[in-house]
Amino acid sequence: MKVTDIMKKKMSFSFEVFPPKMDKPIEPLFETLEHLYKFNPDFVTCTYGAGGTNVGRNLEICKAIHDSGKTISLTHFTCIGNTKESISEQLQTYLDNGIEHILAMRGDLPAGWEGTRGDFGYANELVEFIRDNFPKFTIAVAGYPEKHVQANSYAEDIAHLKVKIDAGASFIMTQLCHDVDKYSRWVERIRKANINLPLVVGIMPVFSKDATIRMAVSNGSSIPGDLAEVIGRWGNNPEDFKRAGMDYTINQIYRYIDAGIDGLHIYALNKWKDVTELMNRSGIRVAAE
Ligand code: FAD
């Protein structure tokens, strides 16, 4: 089954996890996954080593997701430090392990790097390479409702998005965007640019003050007034903050659904207890016993 076929019938529902650091045990993540499966996600994604780290663990986790038989496994993948040869090797290994969905990205450039230090400088080149050499993959690309942090303008960023879509992508997964109105304006812009692929919207749950601010700032995402209010009012008390943050996140999920999306993707942050509470309270999905 392909994620794109699911989205033809209904809004897809998915989670994202990340690999633990090499010196940390992997079992807690496997436990997290077991809890996330209870919500019957259509697919679960695993991030691919920011700055080229933890790459091996990405495969181990993607394989575990696939082998669970409970959902579709989608791997993130980047150009950072990757030659064509190493990309081919890794992509073949994913396919050999039953992983046929990929989010193809350039990746964030590590501090001090001017380029990817690999054979591809931008995501569109990677997408084209996958399409031509590994056609079994269903390819997603990243989209930025508040434009990519390095792009000079929306027009420029959307033109680049169009190029990577025309290279062979089948759907778009969005960067965190707390401002649903900005998302809606971006959707209008990309549709005008003749970008008509399904949109899987990433929701970053608001669980802790510092992480919320850090992630928004590093991605160049804005903090709208109602979120600023949560931070200002509850920021000094982690428990109150988490409660108010969950309310905020649930409201945001419903606003996105109202805005019209093809998929709802929860950045689970490897926190199954908080995510379980969020899901149960939202009523979006009920955990199976
Ligand atoms: P591109 O599409 O290549 O764009 C990068 C920048 O270059 C943009 O500013 C764009 O406008 C510009 N550009 C694009 N094409 C060209 C061109 N041909 N010429 C000139 N300029 C161009 N990072 C990780 O390291 N690991 C992950 O697992 C990961 N998961 C992510 C998941 C999601 C849902 C999202 C939205 C992002 C994720 N990222 C991850 C972050 C992502 O790698 C960064 O945002 C990265 O900086 C850009 O990747 P991209 O594929 O969007 O790049």
Residue 287 counted as domain residue: no
Structural domain tally of the chain?
A: 1
Residue 134 counted as domain residue: yes
Q: Best of 43, 46, 105 to mutate for ligand 1, by most ligand atoms within 8 A of CB?
A: 105
Alpha-carbon separation of residue 11 from 5, 88, 169, 199, 264 (angstroms): 11, 32, 19, 10, 7
Give ligand 1 pocket residues (Cβ under 6 A): 47-48, 50, 76, 78, 103, 105-108, 122-124, 142, 148, 150-151, 156-157, 160, 164, 173, 175, 202
CATH number of the domain that 8 lies in? 3.20.20.220
Residue 109 counted as domain residue: yes
CA pair distance 69, 171, nearest whole angstrom: 23
Range of the structural domain that residue 162 is part of: 3-282
Residue 171 counted as domain residue: yes
CA pair distance 173, 141, nearest whole angstrom: 6
**Structure confidence by residue, pLDDT tens digits, 256-282:** 999 999 999 999 999 999 999 999 999
Residue 288 counted as domain residue: no
Residue 289 counted as domain residue: no
Which tokens sit at 82? 């990757």
Q: Kindly report the pTM of this predicted structure.
A: 0.97
pLDDT of residue 67 exceeding 80:
yes
Nearest ligand 1 atom, CA 143: 36
Residue 48 counted as domain residue: yes
Best CA proximity match to 79, nearest among 141, 137, 11: 141
**Structure confidence by residue, pLDDT tens digits, 175-232:** 999 999 999 999 999 999 999 999 999 999 999 999 999 999 999 999 999 999 999 9
Residue 189 counted as domain residue: yes
